[in-house]
Amino acid sequence: MQAVSFTPGQAEAHPDFVAALVQASASYSIVASQDIVDVRGIKLWAKGLPVSATLQQRLLERKLRTPIESCLVAEDGVTPFYLHHALGQLLAQGSGLSRALQPHALLLDKLIKQIPLHPVAQLLLTTALATRPGAVEHAVQAMALAGAMAQSQTTPMDVRLAMMGGLLHDIGETYVQPQYLDGERPRDVVGHKHLMVHPRMGQLLLEGTTDYPALLCRAIGEHHERLNGSGYPARLSGDAVSPLGALLSAVETVLVQQHHSEAPLTSGSFALRVISGEYPERYSSIAFNMARDAREALPASTTIPSERLRAIHGALMLAEQTALELKNAHLSAPGAAVATLAQQRTARLRMAWNSLGVWDIRPELLTDADRFEMTCACNELEQRLYELERECMLLAEPLGAAERQSLAPLWAGLDLPPA
């Protein structure tokens, strides 16, 4: 995908972002807040003129003296008033999430009025509202959940920073081609690469065009990292992940379930706990208590995902054995590192499998909660296998063709068919 610069003097407009801007300008008032000038000093667009297809063409032909994000302003769309209204709607929904947020409602309502909405942030959120409204709904949910999860651990100032992180965590998605968003997880490495870049893009955007704190910008770049190194884009681990970044990662994991589960908070809480060491225990505990207090009704089910469970178990055993065999093969140090990673990760996944503790119970003795947990386990373990497959393939890309061929059975065994 095309790189983008947010540095004054060498700024290049991103074509996907510019296309989204033009689309958004049909619904909202987006105008130039200053003259838009190229690197040679030639004026491309005058202050006060609205965004149009003519501007789009000029932007794609020239490099700018100032990033385009800093040259435009959204006069309506996602304003502070909009955010306050959206939070009120979320709290009044009656959903499991809104019930979990109720104990924190007064503080959230107070602090949202204090959130500084930088013009660049408003511009990108407004663009998302016009082109992908579900992304703004997700941002408001993340803002509220991050604030609620931070409340018991930090000061009001830190809670406000957590809310800002939740609101802005996916702002880099504006620079990802639409076909890689809001759909099924990408089945090829190219699609996965496009999706992986958005945390870093968001971080660079905020660092280069706003006066937001460095701590916030860093956390935006970390919101898909995990403490055990299995996240992206930088595969950070341990203390290399900031506390705010770890919080945003936990929030993202919980909210992923909002459109994929009949009891999303319960599923999200399970996702934080199923693999030891991925998330800080305090956030797993907070999410567990919030899910319990939300009193979500678990779906009544008489079925057990037995075939999926057997497929997952078989893939884990095969991948672990293949990785052990490859470690003893004649691989380069980077190739052996891929095999070692797969062996360690699959062993940890198998431990998680064994620790669930319901596999030997007769089906007729399982409760609805047991069956729901088994379904959650299937979903989460399948997701981890998918992530490990993509991670191994990406790490193997710099290797020679022969060595990649030797390692291919590793990720081939991790590739489960869709449920």
Does residue 284 share a domain with residue 254?
Answer: yes
Tally Cβ neighbours within 10 Å of residue 48.
10
- Is 171 part of a structural domain of the chain? yes
Greater confidence (294 vs 356) lies with: 294
Q: Do both 347 and 369 map to the same domain?
A: yes
**Pair 185, 320 in one domain:** no
* CA–CA separation, 75 and 90 (whole Å): 24
Clarify whether residues 260 and 318 are in a common domain.
no
For the chain, the domain total comes to: 3
Burial of 43 (0-12, 13-18, 19+ CB in 10 A): exposed
Closest CA to 368 of 305, 304, 300: 300
Same-domain pairing of 176 and 273: yes
- Of these ranges, 15-19, 166-170, 400-404, the one predicted with the greatest mean pLDDT is 166-170
**Rounded Cα gap, residues 27 and 132, in angstroms:** 13
DSSP string, 140-187: HHHHHHHHHHHHTTS-HHHHHHHHHHHHHTTGGGGGS-GGGSSSSPPS
Question: Is residue 381 domain-resident?
Answer: yes
- Tell me whether residue 300 is in a domain: no
Cα–Cα distance measured from residue 253 to residue 270, given in angstroms and rounded to the nearest whole number:
10
Same domain, 266 and 311: no
- pLDDT classification of 201: cutoffs 50, 70, 90: very high
Give the pLDDT confidence of 118-154 residue by residue, as tens digits: 999 999 999 999 999 999 999 999 999 999 999 876 6
**Per-residue pLDDT tens digits for 25-54:** 999 999 999 999 998 999 999 999 999 989
Q: Is residue 55 pLDDT above 80, yes or no? A: yes
The residue that leads in pLDDT, 306 or 234, is 234
Domain that holds residue 87: 80-294
DSSP of 185-253, one letter per residue? PPSSHHHHHHHHTHHHHHHHHHHHH----HHHHHHHHTTT--TBS-SSSS--BGGGS-HHHHHHHHHHH
Distance CA 213, CA 115 (A): 13
Per-position b or e across 161-188, b if 16+ CB within 10 A of its CB? bbbbbbbbbbbbbbbbeeebbeeeebee
The answer to whether residues 103 and 251 belong to one domain is: yes
Q: Is residue 419 domain-resident?
A: no
Q: Both 332 and 358 in a single domain?
A: yes
5 lies in some domain: no
Check: CB of residue 353 under 8 Å from CB of residue 373: no
The H or E element containing residue 74 is strand 72-74
Residues 402 and 255 in one domain: no
For residues 138 and 270, state if they share a domain: yes
Asked which of 27, 56, 74 is the last residue of a domain, the reply is 74
Helix 368-396 × helix 306-327 angle, to 10°: 30
Q: What is the pLDDT of residue 299?
A: 81
Q: How confident is the model at residue 104 (pLDDT cuts 50, 70, 90)?
A: very high
3 in a domain, yes or no?
Answer: no
Query: Which CATH number do you get for residue 277?
Result: 1.10.3210.10
pLDDT in tens, 302-312: 677 778 888 88
Last residue of a domain, one of 271, 294, 317: 294
Across the range 2-20, mean pLDDT stands at 73
Which residue, 238, 259, 294, sits at the end of a domain?
294
Residues 313 and 371 in one domain: yes
Mean pLDDT is lowest, of 86-90, 100-104, 177-181, 234-238, for 177-181
Residues 381 and 258 in one domain: no
Pairing of strands 72-74, 63-64: unpaired
Q: Average pLDDT over the chain, rounded to whole?
A: 89
Q: Is residue 91 part of a domain?
A: yes
For position 180, what pLDDT does the model report?
A: 75
Arithmetic mean of pLDDT, 321-338: 88
pLDDT bucket at 191, cuts 50 / 70 / 90: confident
Answer with the residue of higher pLDDT: 309 or 264: 264
What are residue 260's DSSP bridge partners? Answer: none
In a domain, 23, yes or no: yes
Among candidates 378, 375, 316, which has minimal Cα distance to 343? 316
